Chains A and B, each alone.
Chain A
């Protein structure tokens, strides 16, 4: 359509050149498309993208130290944390002045909670010291160094000041380091002690388990999608109800049902024992471990695999397989060399959907996962709702989101995102 004219400018009906006219209509078409998209785009952008990004921004935001202890932070700049000596009186005086303001505003305990993520004991140190420091007078009670050490001997510990100095930056990489089992120390980034390393392992497990779940979904989903795509529409749609029904039952209920099924006194074990296939004393342990998570999550995510596969398989013309067979291919060759390659986009769409959803799940692993089946999202939820370490939660979330976005990008490259179809 956008070919240039061959001999001189071709003219459209209204006398402008065809090129201009086409460009104008293309512009109008673009405008119309954008106008249609705009309301939703703005809605999603404002109500979702911006809040999420600002939530994730907490993973580097760290102004609390400078806001709460402004003078101390400045005074500490002159102190060498490697010297092994305590800071001088100037720092202590600045600290008392800062604390008096902070205690008044009741922000010192908040700072204590923040620093307690880095150094155990800071929380009670700030809480207890706050009360006594508030009785001091910033001018008359000087010098403060000994008084503070009297109040709490933590103030006489070089490490305390080193921690404060290390974390007195407005933007920190500390949360991200924590998220990969490292920590920000005066000597730079260092690995966490081995007894506290868990998050990298959980990331690995989340990816591994999601892959396994995706694999099982392909394995179980493919035959079903194949069957549905090759049955007459009416019977296929009736069977489709069986696929959609669990999809529409509350996630909480399905997970509880799996608990009833899988536990040691549960339906499966009871049946096996009743049939004599398993000894009563050696009931299978198929819940509160990875098996439980895999079974329950495969079940929950299976429809997300079947539906895109089904919609792709519906578009594969049966004539190709027949042609292959008439040319002498065996059933297996016809399927493997002709049908299967055409169904790959469906597998791709389903896999990416299942994998992305699996990565972010946390209620199901929490209920059936025991200790070996929990995901990184469980830790994110813990840090958001229990420990209040939102910086770490945001860092974990950012890494997870990064992984998902890379996958999304790869998927879009390989299959194209508008190639996903969820039935209907």
Chain B
């Protein structure tokens, strides 16, 4: 009797489980980054709610694919991880849902509303910030002689630091660094870059090192080039450099000077059914609360986007090292930082990119 009731109970439970078995597809970048999200957000969320989460690694094509899905009327993604610039683009195109931070996101533990906790990082109505990362330089410690670089302008100094450099094959960030090293003050950079002359000035500065640059397009390129000794220094995302230095033990060090802060976060696509939208919102509410954001920093060296998460950042889950000093937002690292100007690039990206590509192919 007892056996049969327990079988019945299991059967009932599994039927109930089947009925409520819910799936959601979360799109992200793959690799170590998705792994960190899986451990910090997805796994606890699945345990709490029973929702099965499917990871899709196509964030690099997210903008194009979301547009196509939207036009075809069949949006298969529930939550998408994008950089802030893409979030703005998607929001402009009407492809991402507008979010009311205070109502739809969790407040900080002390009751501070989400909009204040995230502060300026909510750069678009559709964007739910998740991490602060930075694009910065790493250099080979064995190839720079006795005077390791401390200034971003070392990149433009091929006499003191001979050898190749790697830069991203797009104007964003490179134009800003070029202007800074051409004597433009931090706060004037975007005013200068708005003008034709400013754009020419930046390209002229980049021209001085054009022959010593390897242009990368995938985030994994610079770490590989540094590991090979193919370049002396190169720009990439700080998390990649962390992994190169701490996990792979390569002779590489960080150059935090003039790092460019950028944001990565969630958007929820428009065109989902009411039920899926609710589920996506529920997930995002959970995944961007103070504790969850702090948890992610255990697995990857990107800074949580909430002010209230910063004090909770602990040690790396596998290496056991203190993570705070490796965060781009750490005071020691962020003495001179640069905040990516989203609105500027939303306007000027098409124009400057055409000029940049034309310059590259000369």
Contacts and interface: CB of A to CB of B under 8 A. Distances in A.
Decide if A and B touch, CB cutoff 8 A: yes
Interface of A: 106-107, 109-110, 112-113, 116-117, 120-124, 127, 192, 195-198, 201-202, 205, 263-266, 288, 366, 370-372, 374, 379, 384-389
Contacts of A370: 214-215
A68 to B, nearest CB: 11
29 contacts: A107-B94, A109-B91, A109-B92, A109-B93, A110-B93, A110-B94, A120-B348, A120-B350, A121-B347, A121-B348, A195-B199, A196-B354, A198-B361, A264-B164, A265-B230, A266-B228, A288-B214, A288-B215, A370-B214, A371-B215, A371-B360, A372-B361, A385-B63, A385-B64, A386-B64, A387-B350, A387-B353, A388-B64, A388-B67
Contact of A387 (B169, B215, B349): B349
Contact of A371 (B60, B199, B361): B361
Interface residues of B, number: 35
A379 B217 CA distance: 13
A201 B361 contact: yes
A384 B346 contact: no
Contacts of A107: 94
A372 B347 CA distance: 27
Interface of B: 60-61, 63-64, 67, 89, 91-94, 164, 169, 199-200, 214-215, 217, 228-230, 343, 346-351, 353-355, 357-361
A134 B226 CA distance: 52
Contacts of A116: 346-347, 350
Pick the 4 closest A-B CB pairs, nearest first.
A109-B92, A198-B358, A120-B351, A385-B64
A124 B346 CA distance: 7
A385 B346 contact: no
Contacts of B229: 265
Of B92, B93, B199, B229, chain A has the most CB atoms within 10 Å of the CB of: B92
Of A113, A116, A196, chain B has the most CB atoms within 10 Å of the CB of: A196
A264 B350 contact: no
B94 A109 contact: yes
Of B67, B199, B346, chain A has the most CB atoms within 10 Å of the CB of: B346
Contact of B343 (A124, A384, A388): A124
B179 to A, nearest CB: 17
Contact of B89 (A366, A379, A388): A388
A265 B226 CA distance: 11
A387 B346 CA distance: 10
Contacts of B92: 109-110, 112-113, 123, 127
Contacts of A196: 351, 354-355, 358
A379 B357 contact: yes
B68 to A, nearest CB: 9
Given A120-B348, A123-B346, A124-B347, A113 B93 contact: yes
Contacts of B346: 116, 123-124, 127
B63 A388 contact: yes
Contacts of A122: 347
B288 to A, nearest CB: 23
Contacts of B361: 198, 201-202, 205, 371-372, 374
B165 to A, nearest CB: 12
Nearest to A372: B361
A113 B351 contact: no
A379 B343 CA distance: 24
A45 B360 CA distance: 40
A263 B216 CA distance: 14
Given A116-B350, A370-B214, A385-B63, 18 more contacts: A110-B92, A113-B89, A113-B93, A117-B350, A120-B347, A122-B347, A196-B354, A198-B358, A198-B361, A202-B361, A205-B361, A264-B164, A265-B228, A288-B215, A371-B169, A372-B361, A386-B64, A387-B350
A195 B93 CA distance: 28
